[in-house]
């Protein structure tokens, strides 16, 4: 087995999972370190330096480039989508990455189509 190098360390397990699945789509083998520990107690994340995303040394350069692309388009940067529920008229707000998806209205429980 080739040597693993850490190409990113992130605070949230969800973010590490996103990076992992994206890298896997590019055909890279990805390992997470300390993710189980942090999933149990995310306060530990700071203490251990976050979830480490690791790849084989030969893939490190490609992986770093992909991670850079992911971090450039963080979902948090997308402006939120605001619209009214078609059933109860409640003003709803969802994160930008939910665009074009289906969500549940927290007030009346109806499914709502999030506009593009
Ligand atoms: Zn509603």
* Residue-wise pLDDT tens digits, 49-61: 788 999 999 999 9
Q: What is the mean pLDDT of residues 12-34?
A: 91
Residue 76 CA, ligand 1 centroid: distance in Å? 24
Distance 113 CA to ligand 1 centre (A): 11
Ligand 1 centroid vs 77 CA: distance in angstroms?
26
As a whole number, mean pLDDT of residues 17-38 equals 89
Give the global pTM.
Answer: 0.56
Binning pLDDT at 50, 70 and 90, where does residue 46 land? low
Backbone angles phi, psi at 50, to 5 degrees: 90, 175
Tell me: pLDDT of 36 over 60. Answer: yes
Alpha helices in 1-116 (DSSP H): 13-25, 35-40, 44-48, 60-72
For CA atoms 12, 16, 19, 25, the dihedral sign is negative
In this prediction, residue 1 carries a pLDDT of 56
């Amino acid at each position: 087995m080739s040597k693993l190098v850490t190409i990113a360390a992130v605070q949230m397990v969800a973010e590490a999972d996103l990076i992992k699945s994206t890298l896997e789509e590019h055909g890279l083998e990805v390992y997470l370190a300390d993710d189980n520990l942090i999933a149990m107690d995310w306060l530990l994340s700071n203490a251990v330096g976050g979830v480490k995303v690791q790849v084989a040394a030969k893939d490190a350069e490609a992986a770093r480039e992909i991670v850079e692309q992911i971090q450039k388009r963080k979902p948090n940067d997308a402006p939120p989508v605001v619209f009214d529920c078609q059933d109860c008229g409640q003003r709803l707000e969802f994160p930008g990455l939910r665009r074009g998806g289906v969500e549940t209205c927290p007030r009346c429980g109806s499914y709502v189509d999030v506009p593009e």
